[in-house]
Amino acid sequence: MKFLVNQRLATRMSIITTALTLAGMVLLWFIVSDSAASTVRNDITNQMTDAVESRASIINDYVTSAEEYVTAFALGREVRDLLADPASP
C-alpha cells in the first residue's frame, strides 16, 4: 500500500513539474518571439528611413541643379534680348 501512495505522489510531482516546465517554456517563447519581432521591426524601420533619406537627398540635388540651370538660362543674353523686343523673330 505504501508503494502505491509513493507512486501516486511521484505521478503528481511529475505532472506538476511537467506543467510548470511547459508553462515556463511557453512564457519564454513569447518573450523571445516578442523581442526578436521588436528588433526586426526597428531594423527595418531604420533601413527604410535611411533609404528614404538617401532618395530625398538625390531628388534635392537634382532640383537644386535644375533651378541653377533655369536661373542661368533666364539670365542669358538671348533671353534678355527676346524680352527687350518680343516682336522680333
Domain ranges of the chain: 2-84
C-alpha cell at 6: 509513493
73 Cβ neighbours under 8 A, 6+ residues apart: 79
- Looking at the predicted structure, is the pLDDT value of residue 16 above 90? yes
Angle at 53 between CA 49 and CA 54, to 5 degrees: 120
Flag whether the pTM goes above 0.85: no
- Looking at the predicted structure, is the pLDDT value of residue 86 above 80? no
Quick check: 31 and 39 in contact, CB under 8 A?
A: no
